[in-house]
A and B are shown apart, each in its own frame.
Chain A
Amino acid sequence: MAETKVIPDKAVKEITALFHHVPKKSATCIEALKIIQNHNRWVSDDAVKELAVLLEMSPDEIDGVATFYNIIFRQPVGRHIIHLCNSVSCYILGYEKIEDHIKNKLKVGFGETTPDGRFTFLPIPCLGTCDHGPAMIIDEDLHRDLTAEKVDEILEKYQ
């Protein structure tokens, strides 16, 4: 097997374990990118190249896939990722106020990371919890019925 430097061995194991499900290794590309991200928080150029060897694809093919999707990060991200829903129901329920609140509080706009590397702030389409908007996901936790005060409380939990 190819030697990997930036993809941890554990991730390599998880990826190769998927191979027997699928008719060809390349079919695991998306899962593999996600596994790498679970371990490394983001997918670096080197990771793309290593994965290419692992999946018998070219880095170009892999990156074509990686850059297509919203949730694969090809740039470093903060320790915590705030995904604020900006879709229609949350729009009606006033997500923009929450957005402004977070912007003012953390001094970052959408797509940016706080200088201390604590948060990356991103918009996300509908989180499927429209009856409890505005909503956001931080890391893997869903937070609903947001108000400015609630947001302050929630952010405290993520250091």
Chain B
Amino acid sequence: MPLGLIMAKIFVDNIEYEVPDGKNLLEVCLSLGFNLTYFCWHPAMHSVGACRQCGVINFKDENDKRGRLVMSCMQAATNGTRISIEDPRARAFRAGNIEALMLNHPHDCPVCDEGGECHLQDMTVMSGHNYRRNTFKKRTHYNQYLGPFINHEMNRCIQCYRCVRFYNDYAGGKDLAVFAAHDDVYFGRQEEGVLENEFSGNLVEVCPTGVFTDKVLRKHYTRKWDLTSAPSVCHQCSLGCNILTSERYGGIRRILTRYNGDVNGYFICDRGRFGYEYTNSDQRIKQPSKNTDNSSQPLSTEDALHDVKDSIFSKKNIIGIGSPRASLESNFMLKELVGENNFYGGIPKRESDLVHRVISILHQGKVKTPSLKEVESYDAILILGEDVTNTAPMLALAVRQAAKNQPREKAYALRIPQWDDAAVRESVQGQTGPVYLLTTHHTKLDEIATKAEYAAPDDIAITGFEIVQQITRLSQSANGDESSQSFTASVARDLLKAKKPLIISGTSLYNTAIIQAAANIAYSLKDNGKDAGLVYAVPEVNSMGMSMLEQKNLDDAIGRAKEGGVDAVIIAENDLYFRVDRDIANDFLKNCHHVLVLENLQNETTTKADYILPAGTFAESTGTVVNNEGRAQRFYQVYKPSNEMRSSWDWLNEIRNSISGVHAENFDAVVDEMIKKYPELAKVKSVAPDANFRKGTQKIPRETARYSGRTAMLANINVSEPKPPVDKDSPLSFTMEGYQGVPPSPDVPFFWSPGWNSVQSINRYQTEVGGALHGGNPGVRLLEPSNENKSGYFNQSTEKFSRREGEWLVIPFYHIYGSDELSVKGPALAERIPPVYIAMNGKDLEKGNLKDGDHIEITFNQNKLSISVKSENTLPEGIAGLPKGFKETTGIEFPFWGRIRKV
């Protein structure tokens, strides 16, 4: 319980409880563990009182024997509140309400893809309604095509309005709505088509029944109780949202949100949810192999280890290339294997410098970087140079929530309770608080921005430095310069007026000055007594972790190989062709002479490898990654593959064993070694319980007690069930046997509680609704700001952008679907990748006698690219935007100057 919280005594069925005063009554009941039914209330979206499922009897005082029925979600718990959940009238009402909902709900549970994880099913059972009195036909609806992610089955709808509340009010979507009235109400799109919002996948979890379901899961459907699941961390961007990854028959079947009250809360983005399909790709590397120019020879693990020892480790200068998408442990083991001086972070210098800059600011500067969830609590925001919707999607969702804070304060001042969602919204009228954007071009958050300005990367930085000056000026003059309407003046004014201003920036433009300007603004706010925050988005899931281990970068390795200092290279989970120009990659690999690659999927780098070892993705590996906040988080292997795929650190550990006899016993031993060498990583040890952890004598099962199919699964091969695999690296077991209670928070493989089979059971894993998980939210922060501000203010060293005659500065444009290396290899996500283009200001197009869709040829360094143009008038003249990470643009190092010619 937070200190200073006023407590109230309430009575539930005549038993007294102490609860926080003014809290929502339904929330309180759920937090106390009561089985009270509900639909429209959602812990992140609160109450609207529509479904009427949460009725309880409310008594005025102990003398009131009759009481009256109220909706618990529309009441506050205050001192003396007296309710009955069990009163027969309340029970009859709730059962009757379910009966009403079931009038039109099909009895298709046996064939419904929500079955077994359906909140409606749970609530029906909980309400006690079980006998059908309705004799009339059910109403039916047409279903719509909603794109590759979401399946629509409107007949199942119980009209709780959660979908539109999430999609529109919470996530800012525009293309889902409620149509018609009375019992015809219909939730869908105006016309069939792809649901465009980046968070549409959450509808799967937000919908209490089977209207919006996971279409990707449907392609390889499996009953939800037959899934094997592990606590996992999304690998699709740097935010490290917590996920539950589930497997069946050796393939990943779906991903759900894993609630983390500090990070992603109840939601994840669609890249995170649907971007896993690459793990099931036929491009997966499943077996070690030895490769020559024209042949590939599969090897057993033993032979592979042997061969690698002989032909790689016989060489003198062996270097290792780490990866920002490999775990801390894998990077560390590679570094161990090749030695301190021979390990290189697997990213080019300009990216590496930026990430290191970020780390030093967060560690040595004086401003705190808030957790993702905490971002929602800031009341004024400035974003510098980052298209967060596409580079760190959930950060954009958090910004959308934060933008509501200032207007909401006014609603609260009218004594509208925070949980009264509709009333708050009606009072707020869609207004947003101060959100300022300073980006290279129009981004999706513009629609909630107080002001958005567009500038060249260097000019963004310069404006950032000007904002610092404005802040200083404003804070020094007695009543400030209230008059100036300039962008910098309004930004400075609003940031200073706020209680908690937040600066968001990132590495996506490869511009150090922007990073520095963002830090300076945050520092100056802090110096003016503000509770300021500073968030940087970085490129990949473990960019931070890898960089904490290593200063040296890919350019250093390339330089060394060029000078002949390399005889062999080991590359862990890194496609160099994604990172650098292909000629450079080609030369480098040639200069390394011998190449060993640990990798998930075939890619250009693996085609150049002499040996390939099958590395597990996040799904088949256990490890630790560090997110943009500096939070170390553990992800666990979901299942034991029937092939040779395993964590890279595991392979590297085996290789070390085979060449030197030094062997780490398991994952924990690797972590122990790592933190001994790198004491600054000591906290990684406490990220999650170690493999010895037991509840009593029991491990934590990856399968629910309802798991049904294990004995039958392999019966076609052998009727006697094989011994289940043992997980020596974690306290999780691979079966349904084990501890049935709530596990330690980092080790929750699924949410389930008796009577609560849907994700709504999350309530039972939290200390209070929407609060921390029992035992604290997972993850340990490795970086905290320094009190003395060792970093100091940065000097402005940038010069204003000036366009060059006949040349364009080409900067990266990011796409949630397309710019990430692995997620795009899954078919569902691939459907959402837009065709490649180059964006330019319309005036530039006119000058070049070009119009939208014309083809141009762009030449840069030694490269040529033929591509169609698209006008983007917010982009400053002289600058062009090219999608990063697309097939056509992979490996291009941004930004660059290019010449453009019409073809």
Contact = CB atoms under 8 A, between A and B. Distances in A.
A64 B175 contact: no
B429 A23 contact: yes
A50 to B, nearest CB: 13
Given A48-B190, A68-B180, A60 B429 contact: no
Contacts of A67: 179-181
A48 B191 CA distance: 11
Most chain A Cβ neighbours within 10 Å, of B179, B180, B181, B190: B190
Interface residues of A, number: 14
Contact of B176 (A48, A60, A68, A69): A60
Contact of B179 (A23, A58, A63): A63
B174 interface: yes
A58 B447 CA distance: 13
B714 interface: no
Nearest to B179: A67
B190 A60 contact: yes
Interface string B163-198: 000000000001111111100000001110000000
Contact of B190 (A63, A68, A69): A63
B154 to A, nearest CB: 14
Q: How large is the interface on B (under 10, 10 to 19, 20 to 34, 35 or more residues)?
A: 10 to 19
A122 B513 CA distance: 67
A59 B181 contact: no
Contacts of A64: 177-179
Contacts of B175: 58, 60
Contact of A68 (B174, B181, B430): B181
Interface string A54-65: 000011111110
Contacts of B178: 64
B110 to A, nearest CB: 33
B432 to A, nearest CB: 13
A63 B177 contact: yes
Nearest to B176: A60
B180 A60 contact: no
Nearest to B186: A67
A67 B185 CA distance: 9
Task: Please indicate which of the listed interface residues B176, B177, B429, B430 has the most CB atoms of chain A within 10 Å of its own CB.
Answer: B177
A24 B179 CA distance: 22
A152 B124 CA distance: 54
Contact of A61 (B174, B181, B191): B174
Interface in B147-175: 174-175
B43 to A, nearest CB: 26
A72 to B, nearest CB: 11
B429 A61 contact: no
A55 to B, nearest CB: 13
B189 A60 contact: yes
A9 interface: no
A48 to B, nearest CB: 7
A45 B191 CA distance: 9
A156 B255 CA distance: 66
A64 B187 CA distance: 9
Contacts of B174: 58, 60-61
Contacts of B179: 63-64, 67-68
Nearest to B180: A67
A134 to B, nearest CB: 24
Most buried by B among A24, A63, A69: A63
Contacts of A48: 190
B190 to A, nearest CB: 4
Contacts of B176: 60
A46 to B, nearest CB: 11
B653 to A, nearest CB: 54
B177 A60 contact: yes
B276 to A, nearest CB: 29
Interface string B617-643: 000000000000000000000000000
A74 to B, nearest CB: 10
B429 to A, nearest CB: 7
Interface in A23-48: 23-24, 45, 48
Contacts of A69: 181
Nearest to A58: B174
A64 B164 CA distance: 11
A69 B177 CA distance: 15
A76 B368 CA distance: 60
A63 B178 CA distance: 9
Interface string B425-459: 00001100000000000000000000000000000
Nearest to A63: B190
Contacts of A59: 190-191
B763 to A, nearest CB: 31
Nearest to A26: B430
A63 B188 CA distance: 11
A58 B167 CA distance: 13
A60 B177 CA distance: 6
A67 B178 CA distance: 9
A116 B429 CA distance: 46
Interface in B870-887: none
A67 B191 CA distance: 13
Nearest to B182: A68
A69 B180 CA distance: 8
A64 B176 CA distance: 9
12 contacts: A45-B190, A45-B191, A48-B190, A58-B175, A60-B175, A60-B176, A60-B190, A62-B190, A64-B177, A64-B178, A67-B180, A67-B181
A-B residue pairs, 5 tightest by C-beta: A58-B174, A64-B177, A60-B177, A60-B190, A67-B179
Given A58-B177, A63-B190, 16 more contacts: A24-B430, A45-B191, A58-B175, A58-B190, A59-B191, A60-B177, A60-B190, A61-B174, A61-B177, A63-B177, A64-B179, A67-B179, A67-B181, A68-B180, A68-B181, A69-B181
